[in-house]
Structure 1
Amino acid sequence: MAEIQTLHALLEPTVEGLGYELVGVEMTGAKGNLTLRLYIDTPAGIRLEDCEAVSHQVSGLLDVEDPIPGAYSLEVSSPGLDRPIFKVADYDRFSGERVKLRLHELYEGRRKLTGRLLGIEGDRIKVQEEGDGQEYSIPIELIEKARLDLEP
């Protein structure tokens, strides 16, 4: 199966050529039931027509390049208010926002964290935990999933 980074590199020029930012790429499901999900954005936001335009162009590119063996579904959507964070630069971009992190493994006794994103320092993400106010400096490679979290 194609790596996410390879898919992102393949699809980004087409998405940007249409005037959108390719926020991220996800592949979910199991063989025979795969879903390729693209998140797109613009400063003006995303409408259904934008998703349809990107889906049409990307479908053609994927048919020609055929980077994913077998059947899969393509979904194109806005990142939404609880936007997933894919790019390292976004940890600085969204500094000050509330985030939810899920880690690949335990870090200082935690696998999940919710708190205020304090930015990035070298190869570590800084987060002030919501419950006890403790600051964590988490290695980027430990982050399995990150997304903005709406205020409670």
Structure 2
Amino acid sequence: MAQPIKDVVTAMIQPFLDAEGFELVDVEFVKEGSNKFLRVYVDKEGGIDIDDCGRISEVLSEKLDETDPIPEAYFLEVSSPGAERPLKKLSDYERAVQKQVFVTTYEPVEGEKEFEGKLLAFDGETLVVQTPRKKTTIPYAKVASARLAIEF
């Protein structure tokens, strides 16, 4: 079976990102309407700017042209994960402790599937989220998605 595009792209760009001090947040290959998009989300301490995105896009584009792992036409986009950055890796959750988060679960936890509040703790197996109404312990295995949330 062919290796997933996400894994191929990650393997291609990770050495460059590591050497330049960037963090690969996520890679997605999605179809929107009749177009396909390869999106690469990158960050670094202090945030990334348009020049960083351009440089990463140039390097990745060259690498993709060399091996041509995606047979169909697509658009390449390199960007910051934004203010509502997704939490994908364990280290993302660890960095998000004491920050506002929005978490959804695969199945209800204490009768709910959506939690927005402060991430009080994360030990690798459970998240403790303080919402305006209560403190909830959520098993990490039940997390469907999580992201930073903007406080208003």
How many pairs does the alignment contain?
149
Residue 28 of structure 2 aligns with an amino acid whose one-letter code is: E
1:24 corresponding residue in structure 2: 26
Q: Give structure 2 stretches of 5+ with no counterpart.
A: none
2:104 corresponding residue in structure 1: 102
Distance 1:138 1:7 in 2: 30
1:42-121 superposed matches below 5 A:
42-103=44-105, 105-108=106-109, 109-121=111-123
Residue 150 of structure 2 aligns with an amino acid whose one-letter code is: L
Q: Conserved in 1, the CA contact under 8 Å of 2:128 and 2:135?
A: no
The alignment status of 1:145 with 2:145, answered yes or no, reads yes
The alignment status of 1:136 with 2:128, answered yes or no, reads no
Superposed displacement of residue 55, structure 1: 0.3
2:9 corresponding residue in structure 1: 7
- CA root-mean-square deviation: 2.3
Q: Conserved in 1, the CA contact under 8 Å of 2:24 and 2:42?
A: yes
Distance 2:6 2:41 in 1: 13
Q: Give structure 1 stretches of 5+ with no counterpart.
A: none
Pick the structure with greater CA Rg. Answer: 2
Distance 2:114 2:21 in 1: 35
Residue 47 of structure 2 aligns with an amino acid whose one-letter code is: G
What TM-score do you get using the length of structure 2 for normalisation?
Answer: 0.82
User: How big is each residue's C-alpha offset from its partner over 1:82-139, in whole Å with a ceiling of 9 and x where there is no partner?
Assistant: 2221211111111010101233x223233322121123224333322x2421312222
